[in-house]
Structure 1
Amino acid sequence: MPYRLIKGEFHVHYPDLPLSGPEPDGDTIKFLPDNPSLVDALSASGRSATFNRRGMINLRFEGIDALETHFGDSHQNLNWAEAARDELLARIGFTNIAFAERNPNKIASIDNHPQRGYVLANNLDTFGRIIAFVYVGDAEQVDGAQLFIEEAHVTRSLNYQLLEAGLAYPAFYTSLPTDLRKILAQLVRGKRPEGVGLWPEATANTQQTASFTEGLAEIEELVIWPKLFRRLVSYVGSGFTTLAQFDAWLREDPVNRDDRVLLPNGELGNMHDVIDVISPLQLRMNYEPEDLVIVPDGEIVLPPPAPVKPSIGKSIRIVAALVNPLGKETGQERVTLLNVSPHDQDIKEWTIADSVGKSAPLTELLDSDVIAAGNVVQITLDSRVRLNNTGDTITLFDNNGSMVDQVSYTRKEGQAEGVTLVF
């Protein structure tokens, strides 16, 4: 899935109203896009971007979760929470930062503000924030360019740099492609045993049980997975003084408490599967955070497809599709293929499939066994393959079941009636 490049400025301070300004932490920051319409184009899930009156929007850093400098009336271990925030601000290029005495999360004065930067994003979260890989400076590509992120893009991001410094936990959502998730997970698995950053003090994990010897109020001093911290703060705020009811409390609310997660074995579980309450004042995690994938509320989770390997040297590409025809759709959806090679391509036993795995033989749809060199052919899909107007993926497989080509489109693109999408 391509990411969209969006250029703009990072803001952490309102010079005219400093005490009403942002409260930056280690994984969120205000962003003023040069072209707000590029942000609106990220609304693939029907979510709307949340801009403030100054035209700014919050960035949520893809793949990481820093300790909370402020969460309601609480906070996490401030040594590491503020270390992540300060490192982020320094890497962006802000200097001489002074925080307000009346509110230590607000910036009273700052130099080199704002700073230019850009993001690579493909989605908005449920709060209308951009989920992004974040970069300082400018990019060679034009504003709005769509890029397929590779390892080099990831390692240049501030997201990666904060994980590399041991100043954030990994936090993977289903919006993060598997190959990018593996890059970040491998980084964390290497840094944890090296004792980098916060890892020597981390607790409530698979190796170290968190013990509350003087009650749950100690949670503010512990270094624990921020998502677990946020649940514990809400739990304590409900009046509980021990962990005895924590499991039951999570299960009571599967939307706001008992988050859905993909477990390391690929099964769909919940937060209560991740947490193990050892005693009324002790708990630990059954899995490390980098081995979990969080499923956003309302997202439909399909069974994982059978693994396929890209086929080398195949010549057919999916170049266009009419996914939302005018009027009746069944029997009217069309996909355009191009043989980019100088050779005829035998397509016997090839198939075309949608995102839920429904497929049809290509030869039956094309009424031919061959696509000639350089030829463009258009196939009309029948009821065996249906292209969802809320976003879908189209995949071409060869006679060995290997992936030849794959394209995706968003909800917004799929709702354009009568428009042929070009990939």
Structure 2
Amino acid sequence: MPMLLVKGSFQITGSEPDGDTVGFVPTRHPDWNRVPGAARLDLTNSCRGKLRLDAVDALETHYGPTSAPAHQPLPFAHAARDELLAWLGFTDVRRAPDSERVVSADPESVPGWILTGGVDVHGRCVALAGRGPLPEGTRSSQEVSVGVPLLRRTVNHHLIERGLAYPTFYSNLFEDLREELAAVTRQARTAGTGLWPQDASTAGVKVTGLSSLTDEAVVVPKLFRRLYDHLASGEFSVPAFRAFLAGAADTYRITSSATPRAQVRGLHHVVEVTDDGTVRMTRPIEELVFTEA
């Protein structure tokens, strides 16, 4: 899979990194211009962009309105965030009281590199992220063929292997990389690693209110976000959730179905709501491949 390789450094002071987003500054600032969709990049004055880790979805630390953000169970959300920062090389991260905002970090920046195929609708560079010097035989700002061995050198692979984040796949990720991450997901689930012993995505969670999602149930973040958005609409009822999902219009395919290339529209096809208000996914998240917005 060809992706653009960019050398730079990870920087987090003044930002709110979580388990799947972190700040990055290229060594050569013009390298941002080579990223497909660069016009949509949301950059600071110092040319720091926000990376969205490709294929990784960690529990939310802050979602929704900035005045009153919601979160998923914080022990697991923070475990993913802390592992991401530690793996990259940050050893002392300090935050403002009762906040996700970093006020200082040691070191201030850590060297690394990213492999990217483009920018998402929120202005974030979607990337695989590695630490330290560039992979042998490569140079910055060149197209690199990315296979499984290189994928295994990234924090994306590390977080899923540790069971600290869920996979969430989009159609621009090549099949060999997706299959590797899906296999690693199943291994972590079977071994009971990380969040998997608490995962209720397919077992089901009884939703009685927002606290069911923020403090109790560990579920796939995409399901959490859809449930939160339904709650925030002011017209929440668990039985109506599937109709809400039909209107949300997520488009994806199911790799384990009889027609794995067929496009499906709406998560109501893979989400079940029982009479007692229990919500569950009928397919594991690694079997869904979403279409980019």
TM-score (norm 2): 0.91
- Structure 1 residue corresponding to 2:82, chosen from 58, 79, 86: 86
State whether structure 2 residue 109 is matched by structure 1 residue 114.
Answer: yes
User: Partner letter of residue 19 of structure 2?
Assistant: G
State whether structure 2 residue 166 is matched by structure 1 residue 174.
Answer: no
User: What does the per-residue CA deviation read over 1:170-207, in whole Å, with 9 as the maximum and x for residues that have no partner?
Assistant: 010011011110010011111101100000000021xx
User: Partner letter of residue 109 of structure 1?
Assistant: S
State whether structure 2 residue 32 is matched by structure 1 residue 35.
Answer: no
Matched with 1:393 is none
User: For residues 283-362 of structure 1, what are the structure 2 equivalents within 5 Å?
Assistant: 283-297=279-293
User: For residues 28-177 of structure 1, what are the structure 2 equivalents within 5 Å?
Assistant: 28-43=21-36, 48-72=40-64, 73-101=69-97, 103-139=98-134, 140=136, 141-177=138-174
2:277 and 2:30 map into 1 onto residues whose CA distance is: 50
**Conserved? CA contact 2:206–2:212, under 8 Å:** no
1:89 and 1:210 map into 2 onto residues whose CA distance is: 30
Structure with the bigger percentage of helix: 2
- Following superposition, the deviation at residue 239 of structure 1 comes to 1.6
The percentage of counterpart residues that share the same residue type is: 35
State whether structure 2 residue 203 is matched by structure 1 residue 219.
Answer: no
Identify which of structures 1 and 2 has the higher relative contact order when contacts are C-alpha pairs closer than 8 Å and 6+ apart: 2
1:55 and 1:38 map into 2 onto residues whose CA distance is: 10
Flag the 1:289–1:47 CA change in 2: closer, same or farther, 3 A. farther
User: Partner letter of residue 81 of structure 1?
Assistant: A
Q: Which moved more, 1:278-287 or 1:25-34?
A: 278-287
**Conserved? CA contact 2:49–2:124, under 8 Å:** yes
**Conserved? CA contact 1:40–1:48, under 8 Å:** no
1:57 and 1:110 map into 2 onto residues whose CA distance is: 17
2:78 and 2:277 map into 1 onto residues whose CA distance is: 27
User: What does the per-residue CA deviation read over 1:67-106, in whole Å, with 9 as the maximum and x for residues that have no partner?
Assistant: 01111220001010000001111111112222211x4201
- Following superposition, the deviation at residue 144 of structure 1 comes to 0.9
User: What does the per-residue CA deviation read over 1:27-61, in whole Å, with 9 as the maximum and x for residues that have no partner?
Assistant: 100111122333322225x8532212221111010
User: Partner letter of residue 186 of structure 1?
Assistant: A
User: What does the per-residue CA deviation read over 1:334-393, in whole Å, with 9 as the maximum and x for residues that have no partner?
Assistant: xxxxxxxxxxxxxxxxxxxxxxxxxxxxxxxxxxxxxxxxxxxxxxxxxxxxxxxxxxxx
State whether structure 2 residue 182 is matched by structure 1 residue 185.
Answer: yes
Matched with 2:5 is 5
User: Partner letter of residue 189 of structure 1?
Assistant: R
User: What does the per-residue CA deviation read over 1:225-271, in whole Å, with 9 as the maximum and x for residues that have no partner?
Assistant: 0011111111101123431111112223xxxx221111222221122
- Following superposition, the deviation at residue 216 of structure 1 comes to 4.1
1:123 and 1:287 map into 2 onto residues whose CA distance is: 28
User: Partner letter of residue 2 of structure 2?
Assistant: P
Describe the SS at the equivalent of 1:167: coil
Flag structure 1 segments of 5+ consecutive residues without an equivalent. 14-20, 298-423
User: For residues 236-255 of structure 1, what are the structure 2 equivalents within 5 Å?
Assistant: 236-252=231-247
**Conserved? CA contact 1:215–1:241, under 8 Å:** no
1:68 and 1:120 map into 2 onto residues whose CA distance is: 24
1:10 and 1:237 map into 2 onto residues whose CA distance is: 34
Flag the 1:47–1:225 CA change in 2: closer, same or farther, 3 A. farther
Flag the 1:128–1:216 CA change in 2: closer, same or farther, 3 A. closer
CA RMSD between the two structures: 1.6
User: Partner letter of residue 182 of structure 1?
Assistant: E
2:53 and 2:230 map into 1 onto residues whose CA distance is: 26
Q: Which moved more, 1:124-133 or 1:286-295?
A: 124-133
Flag structure 2 segments of 5+ consecutive residues without an equivalent. none
Greater Cα radius of gyration, structure 1 or 2? 1
Matched residues, number:
281
- Following superposition, the deviation at residue 65 of structure 1 comes to 0.3
State whether structure 2 residue 224 is matched by structure 1 residue 232.
Answer: no
Flag the 1:82–1:42 CA change in 2: closer, same or farther, 3 A. same
- Structure 2 residue corresponding to 1:197, chosen from 191, 194, 197: 194
Flag the 1:111–1:223 CA change in 2: closer, same or farther, 3 A. same
